[in-house]
Amino acid sequence: MKQRKLGRNGPSVSEIGLGCMGMVGWYGTGDDAESMRTIHRAIELGNLLDTAEMYGPYTNEELVGRAIADRRDKVFLCTKFGIVREPGAKAVKYDGSVANVNRSIEGSLKRLGVDHVDLYYLHRVDPTTPIEDTVGAMAALVKAGKVRYIGLSEASAETIKRAYAVYPIAAVQSEYSLFSRDLEETGVIAMLRELGVSLVSYSPLGRGLLSGDIRSPKDLEPTDVRHNHPRWQGENFQKNLDVVDRVKAIADDMGATPSQVALAWVLAQGDDIVTIPGTKRVARLEENIKAADIKLAPAQLASIEAAAPKGAASGNRYGDMSAVNR
């Protein structure tokens, strides 16, 4: 797979990576054996894997650690800290304190079975801790050899600028897709390009909605967290499905799937963007990876824009948006 640089002088990574969150029950029942096969196939096709301390919590890092144990040198490994969620608890808190930076990295290294993480993100900005303090502690991890590069997730343009003044940020991970384009309006993408920071687009398929395969919320398992997301509820769902069907018509004309077109659109927004669609199935991974071979012509991009214009999604992407773009 083709690779893209993270930051102006950073490492090269697969332009399409693998988000591992859904492997531990967020989107229904997990299957560790199939998830392991999916991770192994992702490493054969690329190198970028993404996990986080709070996925599970903890169990996703453990799964990824088992999967990469005999192939660590082939992986660009990303994990995140800063959302504290105890096992069995629904509530979370945000902790970017220096103490939590140091506590979290030790736990992640142990669960992943590695001596360093390639890219370490602050998962959400802690409003009670100055970003300068958090990033300073993360920079110390780089100096100590426990982390190679640092990043932020769902940070505002101003926070990114303040963080970068302390230590160069390689990447910012935020939701970005045909359904979620607020980064274009909030100045985040403009700030990233001013500083030379890459965007890592998560949920590029609108948590699966843009695949076109889910025709009703009833298709989801009862424990699936998407039941709690506004875009999957009531009239919002049907309105969003109407947009998906317009994208599918374009994909059909191209001999592609809606997922592939949606991913190709994200990649077409700039060479400084990589994306990490999540899946726990090999077949879906292979479908997603083929999007890297699609180069959208100007006329195709215009058709996609008309089918799914900015603001086309109905409903917020989260029920509680208070921790987004601080």
* pLDDT per position as a tens digit, 202-238: 999 999 999 999 999 999 999 999 999 999 999 999 9
Q: Would you say residue 314 lies in a domain?
A: no
Does 164 participate in catalysis according to the annotation?
no
The domain containing residue 107 runs over which residues? 3-209+269-294
Q: Would you say residue 263 lies in a domain?
A: no
pTM: 0.95
Q: Would you say residue 230 lies in a domain?
A: no
Dist CA 155 CA 176 (whole Å): 13
Q: Would you say residue 203 lies in a domain?
A: yes
> DSSP class of residue 54?
T
From 27, 55, 149, 202, the catalytic residue: 55
Q: Would you say residue 116 lies in a domain?
A: yes
* pLDDT per position as a tens digit, 41-70: 999 999 999 999 999 999 999 999 999 999
Which tokens sit at 82?
A: 């800063």
Between residues 11 and 26, which one has the greater pLDDT? 11
Q: Would you say residue 323 lies in a domain?
A: no
Tell me the CATH number at 137.
3.20.20.100
Domain count, the chain: 1
Q: Would you say residue 312 lies in a domain?
A: no
Q: What is the dihedral of CA 265, 323, 229, 270, to 10 degrees?
A: 0
Dist CA 47 CA 197 (whole Å): 20
Angle among Cα 280, 149, 32 to the nearest 5 degrees reads 15
